[in-house]
Amino acid sequence: MQNFDSSRRSALKTLLGVLALPTFYTVAQADTQLPRPPSDANVLFLQRHDAEYLKHRQIFNKRITLMPRFIAVCYNETGVQTAIRYANQTNLAVSVKSGGHCFEGYSLNEGGLLIDLSLFNKLSYSADSKTLVAQAGAKLGKVYEYLAPHKRLIPAGSCAGVGVAGLTLGGGYGFFARQYGLTCDSLKRVQLVDGKGNLLDSKDNPELLWACRGGNNGSFGVVTRFTFNTHPAPNFFRSYRFKYKNLNLVQATALAKRWFDLMPSLPTTAYSSWVLNRNQLTILMTDMRPSTNALQAILKSLSKGASDIMPVRKDSFLAGIKRYRGGQEPMYFKNVSAGYYQSFKSIEAAFPDIFKAMQASPLKQNLLQINTLGGAINDAGKAASSAYPHRSYAFLGEYQVYYDKASDGNRAVDLVNQIQKRLTAAGIQAHYANYPDINLPNWQEAYYGASYARLQKLKHQLDPDNRIRHPQSVQL
C-alpha cells in the first residue's frame, strides 16, 4: 500500500509532472532474424522501433530499464495463446504485464516477449450471483468505481493504478482485508493460458485456483479472467491521522511500542498503518463502521504527544477510497517487503540501527511503513484453500525509498540492502511476494513457505519449458 504522507506525494506528483521520459530508451532496428510475429485482430505485436512500443512497455517504476524484444498487446484469450505459441516457436522468454506496478519490474524482461494485457480490461457484475468477472488488465480504481453503484466491493488495495491481476496473484491486502480477507480469498474462478498455450479453467482444475490465490505472479501461466465473490460496500469511510514530528530514537521507539500494543484491540472493520519517514511519524486509521469504544480508546492513546491531529474525515465510500488512490505517473523508487511481524518484539533488535540508517541517508524520502493484518486474513479455511502462506502474522512491513534522479538508484538499493540485513539479523524471514526484493536470498521460502513445493509441481505440469519466467518466478 502506498504511504499516506499526502504533502510528500503531492510534491512528488508536481515534480513528476515536469519530467520527460528517461533518456535511456533507444530505438532498435526491425528484427529480421525471427519469423514475422503473427499480428491479427486478437493480438498486436510491437517492436522497439514501433511508435506505440514505449507506451505499452511503460511500468510504474522508472528505475527498471528492461526492454523486451517484442510486446504482444493482447485483446483476448486467443491473442494470449497466439503470443505464447510464438514465444515457444522462437524460444523467447515470456513476462506478463497487467497493471505494471511490480516493484522490481517482473512484468518486463530484456530481449524476450512481453504479454501486455492493459487493453483486455473489461468488468462485468452479476447481480444474481453477486460476482464480478474482471479481465486481466483491469485496475483497482476502475474496479471500485464500477462496483460502487451496486453497493459492492472486492477487498483490494487502494492505489488506483495497481492491477487486479498482480495484486490477487500475490495475495492482496488493503482497508477491507481484516473484515473480508485478502483479495485472493474472494477469488472464485480463474481462466489461464499455460506455458504451452493451452487455455485452462480452474473449474476443471482446482489446483489452479489454489495457486492463483497468492502463488502465481508470472510463474506458470497468464491468467486472463478472474471471477470474484463481492461483498457489501460500507456507506461511509472514516479516516483519522496523527503526525509526530522531529522524533529521536527514544521517542520513535516509544511510539512504535504504543501503536503495536494498541493494535490487537483494533476492530476488524478498521485498518491502521504506521509510517516513519526519517524522523517524522504518521499514523493513519480508517474505519467503515460507527466508532466503537475500542476505537475511541485507541484514538485517545494515539493523540498523546501528537504534533498534528487531523479532524476525523467522514467520506462516502467511493470518495474515501479515492482519497488514497495515489499518483498515476511513473516514479523512481526501490520498495521492498520489510517482513511480517507478530509484535514490536519482532523488530525491536533491528529498530535502532534501522532508525539511524534512515536518518543518515542523503535520500530524504525513505520510509518504514507497517500495516495491520489479522482479522479475516487469519481464517483457517482460507489457509487451506490458498497458496498464500503468511496468515498468522499480525503486521506487514514495507520499506520504501523514492528519489528524483536516475543516478540515485544505486544509493537507494544500497540503503534497502542495509535495512534488509538488519531485519534478517533480527530474525525476520517471512516476506510478501507482492513486495519483492530481487536481492532477497531464500526468496522461495520467504514468499511461499510450505506452499513452494506444491507450486513447483504445478510449474512442471503447466510450464515444463519455463517459458513464463522472471528472476523470482517459481522454478522447475
Ligand X SMILES: Cc1cc2nc3c(=O)[nH]c(=O)nc-3n(C[C@H](O)[C@H](O)[C@H](O)COP(=O)(O)OP(=O)(O)OC[C@H]3O[C@@H](n4cnc5c(N)ncnc54)[C@H](O)[C@@H]3O)c2cc1C
172 binds ligand X (CB under 6 A): yes
Beta-carbon count within 10 A of 239 CB: 19
409 binds ligand X (CB under 6 A): no
Is 306 or 438 the residue whose CB approaches ligand X more closely? 438
Beta pairing class for 365-372 and 270-277? antiparallel
Distance CA 249, CA 253 (A): 6
- Cell 479475516 belongs to which residue? 376
Question: Is residue 166 a contact partner of residue 98, using CB atoms and an 8 Å limit?
Answer: yes
Is 217 or 420 the residue whose CB approaches ligand X more closely? 217
135 binds ligand X (CB under 6 A): no
* Cα angle 9-14-20, degrees, rounded to a multiple of 5: 120
Which of 28-36, 152-160, 380-388, 405-413 is the region at the interface with ligand X (rule: CB under 6 A)? Answer: 152-160
Is 326 or 339 the residue whose CB approaches ligand X more closely? 326
Which of 24-32, 168-176, 263-271, 400-408 is the region at the interface with ligand X (rule: CB under 6 A)? Answer: 168-176
The amino acid present at 206, given as its one-letter code, is: P
Which of 159-167, 245-253, 311-319, 349-357 is the region at the interface with ligand X (rule: CB under 6 A)? Answer: 159-167
Q: Considering the complex, what minimum distance in angstroms separates the CB of residue 307 from ligand X?
A: 26
Which of 10-18, 92-100, 231-239, 373-381 is the region at the interface with ligand X (rule: CB under 6 A)? Answer: 92-100
- Cell 504527544 belongs to which residue? 305
Contacting residue, 3, 42, 81, 107, with ligand X by CB under 6 A: 107
Contacting residue, 60, 237, 395, 448, with ligand X by CB under 6 A: 60
Is 163 or 397 the residue whose CB approaches ligand X more closely? 163
Which of 94-102, 251-259, 283-291, 297-305 is the region at the interface with ligand X (rule: CB under 6 A)? Answer: 94-102
162 binds ligand X (CB under 6 A): yes
Beta-carbon count within 10 A of 235 CB: 10
Quote the longest CA-to-CA distance of the chain: 70
Site string for ligand X, 442-471 (x = CB under 6 A): ----------------------------x-
Which of 162-170, 283-291, 315-323, 356-364 is the region at the interface with ligand X (rule: CB under 6 A)? Answer: 162-170
Q: Considering the complex, what minimum distance in angstroms separates the CB of residue 238 from ligand X?
A: 18
166 binds ligand X (CB under 6 A): yes
Closest CA to 431 of 295, 348, 339, 321: 339
Q: Considering the complex, what minimum distance in angstroms separates the CB of residue 212 from ligand X?
A: 8
Q: Which residues contact 119 (CB under 8 A, 6 or more apart)?
A: 73, 74, 75, 137
Long-range contact set of residues 453-461: C-beta below 8 Å, sequence gap at least 24: 454/210, 454/211, 454/387, 455/211, 455/215, 455/216, 455/219, 455/387, 458/207, 458/208, 458/211, 458/220, 459/219, 459/220
Which of 71-79, 99-107, 144-152, 451-459 is the region at the interface with ligand X (rule: CB under 6 A)? Answer: 99-107
Which residue has the CB atom at the shortest distance from ligand X?
166
Q: In this structure, what C-alpha cell is assigned to residue 27? A: 530505438
The amino acid present at 353, given as its one-letter code, is: D
Residues 324-383 that bind ligand X (CB under 6 A): 326
Q: In this structure, what C-alpha cell is assigned to residue 105? A: 519490474
99 binds ligand X (CB under 6 A): yes
Q: Considering the complex, what minimum distance in angstroms separates the CB of residue 312 from ligand X?
A: 22
Q: Which residues contact 110 (CB under 8 A, 6 or more apart)?
A: 66, 67, 68
Q: Considering the complex, what minimum distance in angstroms separates the CB of residue 240 from ligand X?
A: 18
Contacting residue, 112, 141, 157, 195, with ligand X by CB under 6 A: 157
Is 154 or 169 the residue whose CB approaches ligand X more closely? 169
Contacting residue, 86, 125, 173, 210, with ligand X by CB under 6 A: 173
Distance CA 368, CA 422 (A): 13
Contacting residue, 179, 202, 217, 286, with ligand X by CB under 6 A: 217
b/e code 10-20 from CB counts within 10 Å (16+ = b): eebeeebeeee
Strand blocks (E) in 104-182? 113-116, 123-126, 131-135, 152-153
Distance CA 3, CA 463 (A): 37
Contacting residue, 46, 73, 147, 165, with ligand X by CB under 6 A: 165
Residues 307-326 that bind ligand X (CB under 6 A): 326
Q: Considering the complex, what minimum distance in angstroms separates the CB of residue 187 from ligand X?
A: 12
Strand blocks (E) in 25-150? 43-47, 70-74, 94-97, 113-116, 123-126, 131-135
Q: Which chain residues interact with ligand X by CB under 6 A?
A: 1-2, 59-60, 95-103, 106-107, 117, 136, 157-159, 162-163, 165-167, 169-174, 216-218, 222-223, 326, 434, 470
